[in-house]
A and B are shown apart, each in its own frame.
Chain A
Amino acid sequence: MQKFSALALLAKAFGGHQGWQPQWRSPEPKPAYDVVIIGAGGHGLATAFYLASEHGIRNIAVLEKGWLGGGNTGRNTTIIRSNYLFDESAALYDHAVKLWEGLSQALNYNVMYSPRGVLMLAHNIHDIQSFKRHVHANRLNGVDNEWLTPDEIQAFVPALNVFGKVRYPILGGALQRRGGTARHDAVAWGYARAADALGVDIIQNCEVTAIRRGADGAVEAVETSRGTIRAKKIGVVAAGNTSVVMGMADVRMPLESYPLQALVSEPIKPMFPCVVMSNTIHAYISQSDKGELVIGAGTDAYTSYSQTGGLHITTHTLDAICELVPTVRRMRMLRNWGGIVDVTPDRSPIIGLTPVPGLFVNCGWGTGGFKATPGSGHVFAHTIARGTPHEIAAPFALDRFKAGRLIDEAAAAAVAH
């Protein structure tokens, strides 16, 4: 692997930027691997990277039906935070935030992690009570989160319409300063490049169409659009398509797939110092380093695999943004797109073993899994390598639905992204 550094950049600049190597290979699939990962999104690629770098398993294939990072990893609004209510969630998401902090160095790839802060706005008494409860719960878990008064919010984000006459006034907010954003594509590319350098085969345009099981019920192989590939351990990391892939092993999942949309504006000068979220009126907004406002809308009401959503969903969010940030009312939006998110009944992910021997699953991240990418890959790699769940992953096992041990972030208000 060619190492990236300021010196290398300078040297290549003098050479007219000739001689940069491809960042990963495009290998032909081998007939068999120790581990096959289905889905080359951030979570799948991170899993492969940590399997290779921390568990010494390097005979791995990551199979991707399209191009790597082309799923939700390349479609999300990149908000990172760990101020979840429950202990289990705080442990999981904060594990990820800690990994984000050193990720660019670990991968030798600039993932542009920017802890600029995530501010969640409170618009009514319920929001205030719920967010303050979060602040306290987070602090007990060692997760930073603080309460801001309307004056403090106005000083922090001058563009916000804090004191204007609005339908849902801003009564305060919770700010996690370690929260922020990262460059989504760079996360996929950085993990792909680092995993490839450790010998992982990333095989794109390779759709898994069946999972083959032996007489004992254990997985044996996958059938793909590029032939049969044998493996004794298979990790499904297919986000919105997880129900379809798990169906190939006859496992019915507690998941529903919904379209979720985002849009970006034309680029403008810096005006948003942090990420601003409002769950109550469903709007969230941040500014990319290029200057575009990145805006996230809600999910459609119905399950779908269309990768597009209804226009009324985006309109609803834009209504809210226009009221919160009146200065952007006349801005043009450049692009609008959708991804398909896999939603669980308790809005917490599923990580771990399945009823099928050798088959592991990491899914259910729904509308908010980008932030967890490094942590998710890290604990899932451990789970696959050892065959038993990592202690942080253990509460998120599939069998929690049978045991009734739900991790009900759905009811925890600050659930959105």
Chain B
Amino acid sequence: MLLIACPYCGESRPEAEFRYGGEAHLARTPDSLDDDGWTGFLYARGNPKGLHFERWRHIHGCGRFFNAVRHTVTDKFVTTYPAGEGRPDLSSPEFAEKVAEASR
């Protein structure tokens, strides 16, 4: 069971309190209204083996949605951040140590 840090509650809590919400930052842009755009938005997923930007919801806690970066081979989290914020820049020095640790 994962331990997940809710950015609102500021605490690491067991996975059982959360609901997974799939890939994050999938935006429906105006030019995605053709068939290819819709197909991509509805169905295509990055599904990376490595760092994954994903949505979680603290359903049995504060109830709010947030985003997380997790390494899908080790299942270790790099960071979590409130919904609506842009993707964190993982190449910045602030994350260097955390990304390395999550990949180990």
Q: Which residues of A contact B (CB under 8 A)?
A: 241, 243-244, 247, 252-257, 301-306, 310-312, 345, 401-402
Contact = CB atoms under 8 A, between A and B. Distances in A.
Contact of B72 (A254, A301, A303, A312): A303
Contacts of B2: 302, 310
B82 interface: no
5 contacts: A252-B44, A257-B72, A302-B54, A304-B72, A402-B35
Given A301-B19, A402-B35, A402-B39, A312 B46 contact: no
B15 to A, nearest CB: 7
B1 interface: yes
B46 A252 contact: yes
Nearest to A406: B43
A32 B7 CA distance: 53
A306 B73 contact: yes
Contact of A402 (B36, B45, B70): B36
B75 interface: yes
Q: How large is the interface on B (under 10, 10 to 19, 20 to 34, 35 or more residues)?
A: 20 to 34
A306 B49 contact: no
B76 to A, nearest CB: 10
Contacts of A305: 49, 72-73
Nearest to A254: B43
Contact of A401 (B22, B43, B48, B75): B43
A312 B73 contact: no
Nearest to A399: B39
A312 B49 CA distance: 23
B44 A303 contact: no
Contacts of A302: 2, 20, 54, 70, 75
B75 A304 contact: yes
A227 B3 CA distance: 41
Contacts of A304: 72-73, 75
A309 to B, nearest CB: 10
Contacts of B43: 254, 345, 401
A401 B37 CA distance: 12
A312 B1 contact: yes
Interchain residue pairs A-B with the least CB separation, the first 10: A243-B47, A254-B43, A301-B20, A252-B44, A402-B39, A302-B20, A401-B43, A305-B49, A310-B1, A244-B49
Contacts of A310: 1-2, 15
B40 A303 contact: no
A243 B46 contact: yes
A312 B15 CA distance: 10
B47 A303 contact: yes
Nearest to A346: B43
B50 to A, nearest CB: 9
A134 B68 CA distance: 40
A311 B1 contact: yes
Given A303-B47, A305-B73, 11 more contacts: A252-B46, A253-B44, A253-B47, A257-B47, A257-B49, A302-B20, A310-B1, A345-B42, A345-B43, A401-B43, A402-B36
A24 B42 CA distance: 44
B12 interface: no
Nearest to A345: B43
A5 to B, nearest CB: 44
A311 B1 CA distance: 7
B31 to A, nearest CB: 16
Nearest to A244: B49
B47 A312 contact: no
A98 B11 CA distance: 55
Given A302-B20, A303-B54, A253 B45 contact: yes
A252 B48 contact: no
A253 B40 CA distance: 9
A402 B34 CA distance: 10
B68 to A, nearest CB: 10
Contacts of B72: 257, 303-306
B25 to A, nearest CB: 14
B32 interface: no
B52 to A, nearest CB: 7
B16 interface: yes
Contacts of A303: 22, 47, 52, 54, 72
Contacts of A257: 47, 49, 72
